[in-house]
Amino acid sequence: MKYMLLIYSDPQREPAYGTPEFEAMMGGFFALNEKMAADGVLISGEGLQGIETATSLRIRGTKVETMDGPFAETKEHLGGYYVIDVADLDVALAYARAVPSASFGTIEVRPLMDYDPAG
């Protein structure tokens, strides 16, 4: 089953760029990337640019609205994701626990829809 690990964190709680703590966090991400690739579960994953680069779109009736920034007002921002293919939720949660920013943010684990009728 495919799961998406959505990586949310509060930028105020993240280690500052260039510090040893930041380097350790990034080393943890690189190690997790390598482990998931070696385990054969990693489908894709990327970090996202900051929320100041986001544009949100919604349609209300016949009107299309675009807004700068994310739609939700929260302290935690979506910073990246992984898509993994694993046996079940328990295995997905084990990988989610290994995401370095889980210690100061939130990792949302959601199954992906399977639109393949043979699936």
Name the amino acid, one letter, at 82.
Y
Mean pLDDT across the stretch 24-50? 96
Q: How confident is the model at residue 119 (pLDDT cuts 50, 70, 90)?
A: low
Which helix (H) or strand (E) segment is 100 a member of? Answer: none
Q: How far apart are CA 114 and CA 119, in angstroms?
A: 7
The pTM of this model reads 0.85
The CATH fold assigned to 2-111 is Alpha-Beta Plaits (3.30.70)
Report whether pLDDT(16) > 80.
Answer: yes
Those residues with Cβ within 8 angstroms of residue 112's Cβ, 6 or more apart along the chain or in another chain = 1, 2, 3, 4, 83
Nearest to 10 by CA among 106, 96, 108: 106
User: What residue segments make up the domains of the chain, in order of their start?
Assistant: 2-111
Give Dmax (Cα) for the chain: 51
